[in-house]
């Protein structure tokens, strides 16, 4: 499956950077005395000019990152860092699955996040600052001048080596995607080929975001029932799921649960994901049953109210709900319900559910840890 992962500017920025850094590295090394190629004056000229181009490019990129919020992609994260490293050291040889997935909202693995952030906030700025110092703080015609070029030159040279090493590793690691060339093709076309699991994870991720957005909108403007459709359309677009694939089909295979209930409250259709979330063996076990089956009595009442609202034509994103599974255990999910319209009549209710149990458990654990930590701190301070 293909997803649209790199936007036009991003791709332009990337390849322009490739061109400029390559030029800078070659001419820089000639200036450094490593080899003779273009001739010294030409090398200096090209280096100085390319460096200005790079600076302009970086300014544009900074602007882009902040206006699009893409800078968040570079927020460092320790999550799965160890797994990612282990994957490169051992897993990859055994054909293990990538521990992280490329998502539109999270397209870099933790290692990438660290590396790219390091380049962006350390190496490139240092190269720029030392490079400009070479140009403008060397000769005694400016107000301020350096005592000598040595420190500047050492930093600049070290930075150059770091960038070259980065480029070698970076180019190689692009071959570790779904297929050896998929990452590079993605950077050219914007579309990246991902495996099944990757696509699903990405879909769930997107869906959740889309639903959250819808939820937020519905809260302020509850009359607009077509908003969910908009949200789904947006999701479709954001996912970059190619238009020839029917969204519902994708959903049917995704981690999101789908259900349809008729006016009598009988499940007409559920997908596999739904069934497994409720711990049924197969959708057949559910179809034909009444929806009270999966709710506690209190919640059932609440659900009935919502259900009736939807039957009247409203779309309700029912935030977080609790479900009772087949085996009696309890799970949590978000749910969105929309009316099913046939002709002009509402014939039922359909919706998606996204499992949040794991997240809730994690949040709970986090909270417990926090409380424990606070206790420990309080005790320590008490002593």
Partner 1 sequence: MKQIIYLVLIILFPFSLFAAAQSEEGVDVQSTIKLVNYVKKADRVNRKVVDHSKFSVLKQDFKRPQDVTLACLGCHTERHTEIMANNHWTWTRTEKLNGRGEVTLGKKNILNNFCIGTSSNRETCTRCHIGYGWKDETFDFNEKENIDCLVCHDLSGIYKKESGKAGYPYEGINLNVVAQSVGSPKRENCGICHYWGGGGNNVKHGDLDKAMNDCSREVDVHMGTDGEDMSCIECHITENHNITGKLYALSSENKNRVTCSQCHTDNPHQDDLINKHGLRIACQTCHIPVYAKANSTKMWWDWSSAGRLDEEGNPLHETDADGNHNYMSIKGTFVWDQNVKPEYYWFNGLADHQLITDTISEIPVQMNTLDGAYSDKGANCKTKGCSKIWPVKVHRGKQPYDVINNTLVQVKTYAKNKGEHAYWKDFNWDESIAAGMEYVGLPYSGEYGFVETEMYWPLNHQVSPASQSLTCIDCHTNSTDGRLASLTDFYMPGRDSNAWIDNIGLILIILSFIGVCIHGGLRIIMRKNCLHD
Binding site for ligand HEM (CB under 6 A): 21, 24-25, 28-29, 31-32, 44, 47-48, 51, 54-55, 127-128, 131-132, 134-135, 153, 156-157, 160, 163
Q: How far apart are CA 353 and CA 261, in angstroms?
A: 13
CA distances from 29 to 6, 16, 140, 260 (A): 32, 20, 26, 66
220 touching partner 1, by CB under 8 A:
no
Give me the least distance between CB of 139 and partner 1, in Å please: 5
In this structure, are residues 13 and 187 in contact, taking their beta carbons and an 8 Å threshold? Answer: no
262 touching partner 1, by CB under 8 A:
no
C-alpha R_g of the chain: 28
Of the residues 134, 258, 291, 352, which one makes contact with partner 1 according to CB under 8 A: 134
Q: Count the site residues for partner 1 by CB under 8 A.
A: 48
* Residue written as token pair 């090493």: 165
Q: How far apart are CA 3 and CA 303, in angstroms?
A: 36
The secondary structure of residue 141, as a DSSP letter, is T
Site for partner 1 in 170-189 (CB under 8 A): 172, 175
Binding characters for partner 1, 5-34, by CB under 8 A (x = yes): ---xx--x---x--------------xxx-
Residue closer to partner 1, measured from CB, 141 or 220 = 141
Site for partner 1 in 296-325 (CB under 8 A): none
CB atoms within 10 A of CB 188: 12
Q: Which two tokens stand for residue 375?
A: 């206790």
Give which of partner 1, ligand HEM, none residue 131 binds (C-beta under 5 to 8 Å, depending on kind).
ligand HEM
Q: How far apart are CA 251 and CA 199, in angstroms?
A: 11
In this structure, are residues 218 and 331 in contact, taking their beta carbons and an 8 Å threshold? Answer: no
Among 76-84, 151-159, 185-193, 252-260, the segment contacting partner 1 (CB under 8 A): 151-159
Identify any residues that bridge with 351 across adjacent strands, giving them in sequence order: 259, 337
Site of interaction with partner 1 (CB under 8 A): 8-9, 12, 16, 31-33, 36, 39-41, 44-45, 48-50, 52-53, 56-57, 60, 88, 92-95, 134, 139-141, 145, 147-150, 153-154, 157-158, 160-162, 164-165, 168-169, 172, 175
């Amino acid at each position: 499956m293909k997803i649209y992962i790199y936007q036009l500017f991003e791709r332009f920025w990337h390849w322009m950077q490739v061109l400029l850094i390559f030029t800078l590295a070659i001419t820089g090394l000639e200036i450094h005395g490593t080899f003779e190629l273009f001739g010294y004056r030409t090398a200096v000229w090209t280096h100085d000019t390319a460096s200005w181009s790079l600076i302009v490019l970086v300014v544009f990129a900074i602007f882009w990152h902040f206006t699009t919020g893409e800078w968040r992609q570079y927020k460092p994260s320790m999550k799965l860092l160890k797994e990612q490293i282990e994957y490169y050291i051992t897993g990859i040889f055994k054909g293990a699955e990538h521990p992280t997935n490329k998502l539109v909202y999270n397209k870099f693995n933790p290692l990438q996040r660290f590396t790219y952030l390091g380049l962006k906030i350390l190496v490139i700025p240092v190269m720029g600052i030392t490079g400009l110092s070479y140009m403008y703080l060397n000769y005694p015609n400016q107000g301020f001048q350096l005592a000598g070029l040595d420190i500047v030159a050492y930093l600049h040279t070290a930075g150059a080596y770091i960038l070259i090493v980065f480029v070698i590793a970076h180019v190689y690691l692009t071959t570790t995607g779904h297929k050896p060339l998929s990452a590079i093709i993605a950077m050219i076309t914007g579309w990246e080929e991902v495996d099944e699991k990757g696509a699903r994870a990405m879909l769930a991720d997107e869906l959740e975001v889309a639903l959250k957005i819808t939820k937020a909108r519905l809260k302020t403007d509850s009359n607009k029932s077509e908003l969910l459709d908009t949200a789904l359309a947006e999701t479709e677009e954001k996912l970059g799921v190619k238009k020839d694939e029917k969204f519902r089909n994708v959903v049917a295979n995704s981690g999101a649960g789908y259900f349809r209930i008729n006016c009598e409250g009988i499940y007409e259709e559920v997908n596999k994901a739904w069934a497994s979330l409720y711990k049924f063996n197969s959708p057949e076990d559910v179809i034909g049953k009444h929806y009270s089956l999966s709710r506690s009595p209190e919640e059932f009442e609440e659900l009935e109210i919502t259900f009736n609202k939807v039957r009247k034509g409203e779309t309700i994103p029912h935030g977080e709900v609790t479900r009772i599974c087949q085996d009696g255990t309890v799970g949590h999910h978000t749910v969105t319900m929309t009316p099913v319209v046939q002709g002009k009549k509402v014939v039922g209710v359909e919706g998606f559910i996204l499992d949040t149990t794991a997240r809730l458990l994690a949040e709970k654990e986090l909270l417990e840890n926090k409380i424990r930590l606070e206790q420990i701190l309080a005790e320590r301070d008490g002593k």
